A and B are shown apart, each in its own frame.
Chain A
Amino acid sequence: MIGLEQIRRFFRVGDEEVYALRDVTLHIAAGEYVSIMGPSGSGKSTLLNIIGLLDRPTAGIYRLDGEDVTALDDEQQSRVRREKIGFVFQFFHLVPRLTAEENVELPLVLAGVPPSRRTPLVRTLLEEFGMLHRARHRPDQLSGGERQRVAIARAMVMQPDAILADEPTGNLDQYTGKEVMHLLEELHGRGVAVILVTHDPAIGGGAHRQIRMIDGRIESDSGGSAR
């Protein structure tokens, strides 16, 4: 599903070029459960951003479902992002003015789904995640674990092929962190690819395929599908 070929990404800091990714080649099949680990500054978040089309590689080719998405313009990329990818962040990134329900609804709103079809989708999802009783609460009235569950529901509402999670437990205590991981594993069980970035080996160790990055390179990859 995801095919990265010789992806290179550098940033210009003053006169210097800082490499975040050095010729990364990586393939991830549909429905895989992958963790990307490594120390901070190893380029794991940059890699995730490129996979999620939030960032463009300086060089290299990225194919998503066989389509060269590096060639698309911003408007087209946002459409691909909307339909195929769901994001989960360390800091949840819920819109503080909107209720839990409205936050989950937001991707559908952006996609132009009519209100009559939005409500049942959102409600079902909130019920599955055990959050229906909190639907009318605003983010500041929710606990960290509840916020992350709302965020995951939002990532799932467009029924994406892949969930990209950047340190999803980084801002949660041990117990709720585990709960959130269970939720992500459950989504993987439904056939959604889960790509997880973390520096915590205990969290990343649960993934079926583990990738270690150092200095913008893939140092090790436990998965068989990497070529």
Chain B
Amino acid sequence: MTTADILLFAWRAVWGFRLRTLLMVLATSIGVAAVVVLTSLGEGARRYVRNQFETLGTNLIVIIPGRAETVGGGGGLMSGRTPRDLTLLDALALRRIRGVKHVVPLNLVSGEVSWNGRRRDVPVIGSTGDLLAFWKLNLAQGRFLPDQDPRRAVPVCVIGATVRQELFGARSPLGEWLRVGDRRFRVVGVLAPRGEMLGIDMDEITIIPVASAQVLFNLTSLLRVGVETNTREDVSRVRDEVRRVLRERHDGEEDVTIITEDAVASAFDRILLALTLALAGIASISLGVAGILIMNVMLVAVSQRTSEIGLLKAIGASPSQIRMLFVAEAAVLSAVGGVAGSILGQLGSLAIRSIYPVFPAFAPLWAVLAALATALVTGVLFCLLPARRAARLDPALALARR
């Protein structure tokens, strides 16, 4: 029997029992569609996070005071850990490294802002004029912090869209004196609405010069320093330079953690890929269930078609041919189900994308192929038992039954 003949015969059987075929195809396709949709969600999350990082720019270096490391069991005195401050002067020293575009010192403190009796607790950010470009912020009104010596504590501030709305209402805040903590700052600008960025609601912030923030909140250390390089190729060289400069300034000790955007992004990438794999695994359980369904249905098919099997034997079909015919039938069923399911799944992720346009839910190719392969393999595997039963049927008995 040629392969084409086997497939044609299987196809005739699949087509001949349409309701059964429909149900089987439905079961398999739901399984495959589940894999496709769930992996597209996982992949969507991965791409979403990646995009978030890319909005920050791709040539960023972040310096955090303190060293992320495990220090040995010797105890406090002997461990040699010296938490040194990362100072504004450290940040300024980095400006001289070749290839550096911006150096942005950053403090973040929760503080109370008030104007005309209205108060609001907001994140107060201390930084420099470079923050505007560094965070890719836009202004709705006025100007940003002035570009001047960052060591000067100038009493000016820039407020977020919500802060402006809540404190000033319809009035223009430009030129007004906003109280931050126990000092007053003149409002010079308002940020355009931006929404959340890396966990901070950018519409809620108030930005003041870094030197003012250090005086106001009695800070000696910066929360972190952001460095933007001119090009992506500069990143690794600048990172090494930053490490060298800071070691020199810190008496030869390496007591800062330097993170490049790539490292963070790829860590997220790995986590979300693992999540996608886990989702694929969970969804493929439904494929296993579909496989058991296939087995059940094929067992019914064997007992339903007992006399047909007897006849096939009488006209010369060998046991291996009978086995092949049933396996081919299951394979055709699960192939049709698999294709239908991946179409269904693609439609599903299309629906997700059109409902949440910011969420790029695309099923990865490997997941689609793996789902199809799993559907086919489970279909065939679970059909082996029914097929064997059919092949072993006693033809004399099978034909005696009407």
Contact = CB atoms under 8 A, between A and B. Distances in A.
Contacts of B314: 52, 54, 81, 87, 89, 93
A95 B315 CA distance: 12
Residue of A45, A86, A93, A154 with most chain B CB atoms under a 10 A cut-off: A93
Interface string B384-402: 0000000000111001101
Contacts of B308: 93, 95
B318 interface: yes
A110 B311 contact: no
Interface in B4-30: 5, 9, 12-13, 15-16
Nearest to A88: B314
A75 B399 CA distance: 19
B12 A111 contact: no
A169 B369 CA distance: 55
B200 interface: no
Contacts of A112: 1-2, 5
A82 B319 contact: no
A23 B13 CA distance: 42
Nearest to B316: A82
A75 B391 CA distance: 11
A85 to B, nearest CB: 8
B313 interface: yes
Given A54-B396, A97-B16, A78 B2 contact: no
Interface in B306-349: 307-308, 310-321
A107 B308 CA distance: 13
Nearest to B315: A107
Contact of B316 (A55, A93, A96, A107): A107
Contact of B12 (A55, A74, A82, A97): A97
Interface in A25-70: 45-46, 49, 52, 54-55
A98 B8 CA distance: 11
A121 interface: no
B308 to A, nearest CB: 6
Nearest to A84: B316
A65 B9 CA distance: 33
A19 interface: no
Contacts of B316: 78-79, 81-83, 107, 110-111, 158
Contacts of B317: 78, 82, 110
Interface string B227-264: 00000000000000000000000000000000000000
Given A78-B313, A93-B311, A112-B1, A55 B16 contact: no
Contacts of A49: 396
Main secondary structure of the interface of A (DSSP, over half): helix
A106 interface: yes
Interface residues of B, number: 28
B319 A74 contact: yes
A86 B308 CA distance: 16
Nearest to B8: A109
B1 A110 contact: yes
A91 interface: yes
A172 to B, nearest CB: 15
Nearest to A155: B315
A75 B1 contact: no
A52 B313 CA distance: 11
Contacts of B400: 45
B312 A110 contact: yes
B9 A109 contact: yes
* Listed residue (A110, A111, A158) with the most chain B CB atoms within 10 angstroms of its CB: A110
A89 B402 CA distance: 11
B318 A78 contact: yes
Contacts of A55: 394-396
A110 B318 CA distance: 9
Interface in A80-124: 81-83, 86-87, 89, 91, 93, 95-98, 102, 106-107, 109-112, 114
A171 to B, nearest CB: 10
Given A89-B399, A93-B307, A82 B320 contact: no
A10 to B, nearest CB: 14
Nearest to B307: A93
Residue among B310, B312, B395 with most chain A CB within 10 A: B395
Nearest to A111: B316
A87 B319 contact: no
Given A89-B399, A110-B1, A97 B313 contact: no
Contacts of B1: 109-112
Minimum-distance CB pairs A-B, first 8 = A82-B316, A97-B16, A78-B318, A93-B311, A55-B396, A49-B396, A54-B395, A87-B314
Interface of A: 45-46, 49, 52, 54-55, 74-75, 78-79, 81-83, 86-87, 89, 91, 93, 95-98, 102, 106-107, 109-112, 114, 154-155, 158
6 contacts: A54-B399, A55-B394, A81-B313, A95-B311, A98-B12, A110-B317
